[in-house]
Structure 1
């Protein structure tokens, strides 16, 4: 610029045009930023929706309990033990098969004892530890049978470890591979019962009880425990008891454990008094006898002397 030149300033119109252009640029930048923000929000919503859908699907699938083969020797959803502490042998049930109900002795000569128990249930532990000896003697002598139904009713009461379900699976594994050891394994689980709302025994500790019970095919039982092979079956068996009815009784459905039946009659007495339970057995047997129709006495036929 020479000394004779005069600096030209933008006119008012030019300044307004520049301001409008700057405002347009800002608006364009803001719109682009808003589009990016909306895209991010939409993506986040999609991710959240997919995550929620996945969780719902898992919950639904978990609640359905897909059918699986049941253990051998537990066709009734329980294991029946008789004279000499020998278990009744039955084939493994198909995934969709209904339980095969055992028929008790209608004459009452052999007392039928049926228990529905949870290995974490403290009241079940009280009953089992109080009455195991006398039940065992009655069964061993042939005076009674005992049918044990392990059910994972308290699976959510063990600090997230599902101890009841794991113990039930282990019991089913023993029933499958060495049913004659079931009675002793059942006793070991209650003799070493953890407290409710604790983590319970680890699988390794459960396996130690399998050894202590004298189970013969330990390796197969150990692998069965590791595989959680009968988890689905145990949960389906629980569902069946909660839906009901309870076979060979007037009990409509399971409402708590232990459920103890003697010749179909529910025992509701003391869980820690063996004499009271013994008296209940005697009465239940007497009631069964009294309901039986007496055998007709043959009428002598007169004979001719000649």
Structure 2
């Protein structure tokens, strides 16, 4: 008897071998297609991720390049000019990116020009206000002097993160924009309610309540302006302009700190909490107008230190 494999069996094995090869070929082809798809997906993901990164970088760049903010009406000079009977001089608002336009002073009129750069969170500004509010009010009411007030925000870092100096200056700008003739009252009320340096300052609701105390017109518009911090960017820009200088029509190169008080173009360097010293300076400055060659300021009458 002969033992072995029949031709049919050999053919069956060959077919199975060929089928295995074909299956292996199909698997390799399928894997190559899968690899190509994975490569395409990976490349697409890299491109999308790259575009997302570029978008984030572009957004950061755009946000870091802050565009100037338009200013409030009646503060074209970056300040508001208060005249007789506490009436503000009306002006347009400063356009975004434009330079402030100084108020012209009539030197022949005999009216004293007083400019005040103040931070409503600054305790020394509060001391000056407390000492001089009465005589400033008298001079303005009688028409003997005009007072131009420039709100600044320097002391944000001292308000526990609430940026009270900026919020107070913005509130002042909101009042100037829609209720300029009540600005002087609001200015005095802000100092009368000045929070302590190092505190969180007043809330927006408390600032809004103070505008009501000043009897502003359009109180809802003023309140919305305060809540939205409408002039926040202008406050920042105005501070930068003042700190860069020069200060127009004066012997002041730039504002180094608050309060800075200028009378007829001459910087007051006397005691800020002494009304007599300031009054003496004003009397002397009345006949010592600033000009381009001015290098000195009137010296206030010496008084004993408090």
Class of the TM-score when normalised by the shorter of the 2 chains: 0.7 to 0.9
Residue 57 of structure 1 is matched in structure 2 by 60
User: How far did residue 132 of structure 1 move?
Assistant: 1.2
Matched, 1:222 2:223: yes
Listed one character per residue, the Cα deviations across residues 191-250 of structure 1 (whole Å, up to 9, x for unaligned) are 111111211000011011101111121000001111110000110000101110011112
Q: Kindly tell me the number of residue pairs found equivalent between the two proteins.
A: 244
Stretches of structure 2 lacking an aligned partner (at least 5 in a row): 1-45, 293-306
Residue 239 of structure 1 is matched in structure 2 by 240
Please tell me whether the aligned partners of residues 108 and 288 of structure 1 are also in contact (alpha carbons under 8 angstroms). no
User: How far did residue 183 of structure 1 move?
Assistant: 0.2
User: How far did residue 69 of structure 1 move?
Assistant: 1.6
Matched, 1:172 2:177: no
Please tell me whether the aligned partners of residues 65 and 235 of structure 1 are also in contact (alpha carbons under 8 angstroms). no
Residue 294 of structure 1 is matched in structure 2 by none
Residue 134 of structure 1 is matched in structure 2 by 135
Please tell me whether the aligned partners of residues 82 and 89 of structure 2 are also in contact (alpha carbons under 8 angstroms). yes
Aligned partner of residue 112 in structure 1, secondary structure: strand
User: How far did residue 108 of structure 1 move?
Assistant: 6.1
Aligned partner of residue 229 in structure 1, secondary structure: coil
User: How far did residue 288 of structure 1 move?
Assistant: 3.1
Instruction: Name the CA distance, whole Å, in 1 between partners of 2:80 and 2:157.
Output: 24
TM-score (norm 1): 0.74
Instruction: Name the CA distance, whole Å, in 1 between partners of 2:178 and 2:261.
Output: 26
Please tell me whether the aligned partners of residues 174 and 182 of structure 1 are also in contact (alpha carbons under 8 angstroms). yes
Residue 96 of structure 2 is matched in structure 1 by 95
Residue 261 of structure 2 is matched in structure 1 by 260
Listed one character per residue, the Cα deviations across residues 104-134 of structure 1 (whole Å, up to 9, x for unaligned) are 2223600000000001111111001111111
Instruction: Name the CA distance, whole Å, in 2 between partners of 1:270 and 1:127.
Output: 9
Instruction: Name the CA distance, whole Å, in 2 between partners of 1:280 and 1:198.
Output: 34
Residue 204 of structure 1 is matched in structure 2 by 205
User: How far did residue 252 of structure 1 move?
Assistant: 1.0
Instruction: Name the CA distance, whole Å, in 2 between partners of 1:267 and 1:94.
Output: 31
What RMSD, in angstroms, separates the aligned Cα atoms of the two structures?
2.6
Please tell me whether the aligned partners of residues 119 and 125 of structure 1 are also in contact (alpha carbons under 8 angstroms). yes
Instruction: Name the CA distance, whole Å, in 1 between partners of 2:145 and 2:218.
Output: 28
User: How far did residue 57 of structure 1 move?
Assistant: 2.9
TM-score (norm 2): 0.74
* Larger deviation, residues 267-276 vs 64-73: 64-73
Residue 78 of structure 1 is matched in structure 2 by 79
Residue 187 of structure 2 is matched in structure 1 by 186
